[in-house]
Amino acid sequence: MADMINANLWNKIGVTKFEKMLDLTAHRHKLISGNLANVTTPGYVAQDFDFQKEINNALGTGSQLKMNVTSQSHLGNMGDSRDIDIIETRAQSEDDLNGVDLDSEVTNLSINQMRFTIGAKLLQNKLSALKKAIRG
C-alpha cells in the first residue's frame, strides 16, 4: 500500500517525469562523451538518439499507445517497455576518419548539460514545494 501511495504521489507532482528526463540526459551524456573520446579513432561509429522523440515516448506522448486506465489501482502507461533507438553515424567519405563531428558533439554536449541542469532544478523545486506543504 505504501508503494502505491508513493508511486501515485510521485506521479501527481511529476517526479517520475523529471526522473525519466534526467535518465535520458545521463544516457545521452555517456553516448556523446564516448563520441568525443573516440574523435581520432579510425572507423569509429558515432552514436546518439533523438532526445525529443525518446522523451515523448517515455512520457507516453509519442507514437506509443496510451493505456486506458479503468480503475484507480491501475498505474497506466509508464513508457519503460521500449529500448532507445540509437542513431549511428559513420564516416561520410573516404577522407573522413570516422563519424564524429567535433563541433556537433560539443554543441550536443552543451545542450544536453543544460537539459540536465534544468531538469534537476525543476525537480528540486517540486520537492521543495512538497516539503513546504508537508511542514505547513
Number of domains in the chain: 1
At 64 the pLDDT is 46
Residue 77 has pLDDT above 70, yes or no: no
Q: Which domain holds residue 130?
A: 15-135
Asked, for residue 87, whether it belongs to a domain, the answer is yes
Task: State residue 69's pLDDT score.
Answer: 57
Residue 2 within any structural domain of the chain: no
Q: What is the reported pTM?
A: 0.78
State how far the Cα of 19 lies from the Cα of 69, in Å rounded to an integer: 22
Q: Would you say residue 3 lies in a domain? A: no
Q: Closest Cα to residue 27, out of 106, 115, 100, 124?
A: 115
Residue 54 lies in a domain: yes
Which pLDDT score, from 0 to 100, does residue 61 have?
73
Among 19, 24, 16, 14, residue whose Cα is nearest residue 126: 14
Locate 31 and state its grid cell. 553516448
- Residue 111 within a domain: yes
Q: Is the pLDDT of residue 80 over 50?
A: no
Q: What are phi and psi of 46, to 5 degrees?
A: -70, 145
**What gap in Å lies between CA 36 and CA 106, rounded to an integer?**
8
Could you read off the pLDDT of 30-73 as tens digits, one per residue?
999 999 999 999 999 999 999 999 999 888 775 544 555 566 55
Does 53 map to a domain?
yes
In a domain, 9, yes or no: no
In terms of average pLDDT, the best of 61-75, 85-99, 102-116 is 102-116
